[in-house]
Structure 1
């Protein structure tokens, strides 16, 4: 469990609490920061596997850091923590390909699971926030979902359950190559970016519709 991590939060107690907890659990904390500029510089310099970032920080937000990591091709997987249950930052997180989105009140309970899934290439999002956003957007049918075929809807339903391409192929008795082709078509139809997390996040947020 020597996953390398950088943590950033402008709330001292939260920063210390997460750092102490993850250190006690055997994670390799490379550095910590109380503002976004310092956090981003640490990510560029130290190249951690995971960056756990507060969404709202001075100088550079967690979302801005996620965007910069994506733009500059950094391999660090970003996990965002927040007090807010808002649709806009969640949508931006999807756009910037983050691997985790956790409410702060559940951070200690969920962070290890989130890190584990991120390391394995699977995004993790707090059930509390996905349930809240599903409820608040239930009357707003997602755009372009009607363009998906029945086969694509079956696949995206399985993706919403965090199943891999191999899992989907096994369940539907088709090849992984066929699953990946369907995934590419779905991403194109929905206008998502090609980050592996983008489709999973969209599927989780809109699972009420398929």
Structure 2
């Protein structure tokens, strides 16, 4: 799948390095930008499949671009690249349904995995970031959850109702409740919402 990609970074060497790398790997990089305003305008103009954005840029940050794309229902999948290992930025990115969060020091080794994951409609967050931010390791049983179940659980961590989750994922409330039942069984939790909510909040960072 040769997804259309734009990239943006206000550091010329970083931008050139990433662009040259992606082009060498035969990715379809259709444009690039040196600040947030230009990046946002390119997204609106080209409607690329993926936008790889530096978080901290002049005029608009990567987070602000993601917010505006959400408001305007732009379907471009946002990937953020940054040196920031910040729990609040991470949570904000998750709230905005950003599809990727890659640490710059690992960008060239991780970006292909990230793009592949995003193309398969699965969010990608740098493993090093998760390890750095995570206070506790989750139980092994979390690996038994499907991607859909993890997404439901991540929205539960954000205090969203079954109807709100259903609307976001374009499924019925009944299907959400079925997911919840399966999650409770797989994680061997007490069969009540509070136990599900507590688990979701404690291990939210792993629910990517």
Verify the 8 A CA contact 1:78 1:99 in the aligned structure 2. Answer: yes
Q: Structure 1's 129 and 46: CA in aligned 2 closer, same or farther, altered over 3 A?
A: same
Verify the 8 A CA contact 2:56 2:62 in the aligned structure 1. Answer: yes
Deviation for aligned residue 1:188: 4.6
Matched residue SS, 1:84? coil
Unmatched 5+ residue regions in structure 1? 139-152, 169-178
Matched residue SS, 1:2? coil
Matched residue SS, 2:59? coil
Q: Structure 1's 155 and 64: CA in aligned 2 closer, same or farther, altered over 3 A?
A: farther
Matched residue SS, 1:74? coil
Between the aligned partners of 1:188 and 1:111, the Cα distance in structure 2 is 29
Normalising by structure 2, we get a TM-score of 0.72
Verify the 8 A CA contact 1:2 1:28 in the aligned structure 2. Answer: yes
Which residue of the partner structure matches residue 74 of structure 2? 74
Between the aligned partners of 2:20 and 2:82, the Cα distance in structure 1 is 19
Which residue of the partner structure matches residue 57 of structure 1? 57
Query: How many equivalent residue pairs?
Result: 170
1:82-127 CA distances to partner (integer Å, 9 max, x unpaired)?
Answer: 0111111111101111000010000000001101111111001001
Matched residue SS, 1:111? helix
Between the aligned partners of 2:38 and 2:2, the Cα distance in structure 1 is 23
Unmatched 5+ residue regions in structure 2? 170-199
**Equivalent of residue 187 in structure 1, options 129, 133, 155:** 155
Q: Structure 1's 9 and 156: CA in aligned 2 closer, same or farther, altered over 3 A?
A: same
Which residue of the partner structure matches residue 96 of structure 1? 96
The runs of at least 4 consecutive aligned structure 1 residues that moved more than 6 Å come to: none
Matched residue SS, 2:134? helix
**Residues 38-187 of structure 1 correspond to what in structure 2 (within 5 A)?**
38-135=38-135, 138=136, 158-159=144-145, 163-165=146-148, 183=152, 187=155
Between the aligned partners of 1:189 and 1:85, the Cα distance in structure 2 is 21
Deviation for aligned residue 1:204: 5.7
CA RMSD of aligned residues (A): 2.9
